[in-house]
Structure 1
C-alpha cells in the first residue's frame, strides 16, 4: 500500500522543515524525488540525505515565481531522474518578505510577495508538469496551504491568508478540469508547525487538542497518501492537518 516505486516527484520549498519531511517521506515509499529550494545548498543537503539513506533524489534549485526557471528546473529533473514528474507537491510559500503586519500598515509594494510565491508559484509549477501527467493518464498535484486561508486572525496574516485562499480556489477548479485525465489535485492545509513556534512551543501546543504541534513527518505522511495510487478517488479537496485545532 502507498507504493510510489517508478514515480518521480517534485517538491518545492523542500530544503527545510515540512518540505524536507515531504521529500523524505515520498522517497521512503519509492519515489525518485527532485528536491527544490531557492537556496541550492539546502536542496543539496536534503537530496544528499535521501541518497545516503538509500533513496533516489536530485537537487533542483530554482525560484518558483520565475516561469522560465521553473520550466528549466523541471526539464533538468526529468533528465536526471529519467522520467517525467508524476507527483507535484507545491510547498514553497514563504517569501523573503512575509508581509506580516496589520494591513493598514503595509505599503502596496509589500502586497505581491505572498501572492507571487503561493498562487503564481503554484500556477508556474503546474503549467510545467501537467501536460505530461495528462498524456500519461496519471498524476498527483498536492498543494500545501494553511488554516489561515479560511480562519481569520489578528496576527497580521491578511496577505498570507489571501494568497493561500487564492491557491485553494485554483486547486479546486483545476481538479475538475484534470479528473477525466486521471490526474488528481488536492490541498493540505496545515496547522501550526514546530518550526514556526520558536520559544513559545509549549504555549501554542497547550491550545491544540493533541497537545503538540505538527512535524515534518506528520506532513510527509499525509502527502504520501494523497500522492498514492490508493487516493485516486480523492480530488478537489482541502484536508486539514492541524491536531484538531480547527474541526470541520
Structure 2
C-alpha cells in the first residue's frame, strides 16, 4: 500500500522543515524526487540524505515565481528520470518578506511577495506539469496551505492568509478540470509546526495532541494524497493540525 515506485515527484521548498519531510517520505515509498529549494546548499543536503538512505533524488535550486525557471527544471527532471513528473507538491510558501504585520501598517510594496510565491508559484508549477499528467491518465497535485487561509487572526498574517486562501480556491477549480483525466488535486492545511513553535506551553495547550507538527507528520499525509490509493480523494482541503481546529 502507498507504493510510489515508478513515479516521479517534485517538492518545492524541500530544503528544510516540512518540505524536507515530504521529500524524504515520498522517496522512502519509492518515488524519484526533485528536491527544490531557493538555496542550493539546502537542496543538495536533503538530496544527499535521501540517496544515502537508498532513495533517488536530485537537487534543483530555482525560484518558483519565475515561470521560465520552473519550466526549465521540469524539462531537466524529465531528462534525468527518463519520464515526466507525475507528482507535484507545492510546499514553498514563505518568501524572505512574507508581509508580516498589521495590514494598516504595511507599505503596498510588501503586498505582492506572498501572492507571488503561493498563488502564482502554484500556477507556474501546475502549468508546467499538468499537460503530461492528463495525457498519461495519472497525476497527483498536493498544495501545502495553512489554517490561516480560513481562520482569521490578529497576528499580522493577513497577506499570508489571503495568498493561501487564493491558492486553495485555485486547487479546488483545478481538481474539477483534471479529474476526468485521472489526476487529483488536493490541499493540506498545516497547523503549528515544530520549527515555528518555540517552547511556550500555553501554545501547546491549544493543540489537542499537546505538540506541534513535525516534518514526518506532514510527509506521511502527503504520501497518502500522492498514492494510487487516494484516487477518489480530490478537490479537498484537509486539516493537519493536531486538533487545534476541528471541522
* Fold agreement, TM-score > 0.5: yes
The 10-residue stretch of structure 1 (7-16 or 70-79) with the greater mean CA deviation from structure 2 = 70-79
The 5-angstrom pairing of residues 97-136 of structure 1 reads: 97-136=97-136
The alignment of Structure 1 onto Structure 2 pairs a total of residues equal to 247
RMSD: 0.7
Counterpart residue number, 1:24: 24
Which residue number corresponds to residue 175 of structure 1? 175
SS for the counterpart of 1:94 is coil
* Shift of residue 199, structure 1, vs aligned partner: 4.1
> 1:87-113, CA deviations, whole angstroms, 9 ceiling, x for partnerless residues?
000000000101000000000000000
Provide the secondary structure at the position in 1 that maps to 2:63.
coil
Q: Distance in 1 between matches of 2:209 and 2:199?
A: 19
SS of alignment partner, residue 60 of structure 1: strand
8 Å contact from structure 1 (residues 60, 77) kept in 2? no
Deviations 1:120-151 (A, max 9, x none): 00000000011110010000000000000000
Stretches of 4+ aligned residues off by more than 6 angstroms: none
Q: Name whichever of 124-133 and 77-86 sits farther off.
A: 77-86
Q: Please state how far the C-alpha of 1:198 moved relative to its aligned partner.
A: 2.7
Residue aligning to 1:42: 42
Cα shift at 1:203: 3.2
Residues of 2 paired with 1:141 and 1:227: CA distance?
A: 7
Alpha-carbon shift at residue 78 of structure 1 (Å): 1.4
Distance 1:70 1:203 in 2: 41
- Post-superposition Cα deviations, 1:201-223, rounded to whole Å, max 9, x if no partner, equal x3321220100000000000000
> Which structure 2 segments of 5+ residues have no match?
none
> 2: distance between equivalents of 1:152 and 1:112?
20
In structure 1, the residue matched to 2:216 is 217
Following superposition, the deviation at residue 81 of structure 1 comes to: 1.7
| 3-state secondary structure, aligned to 2:222 | helix
Deviations 1:141-178 (A, max 9, x none): 00000000000000000000000000000000000000
- The equivalent of 1:242 in structure 2 is 241
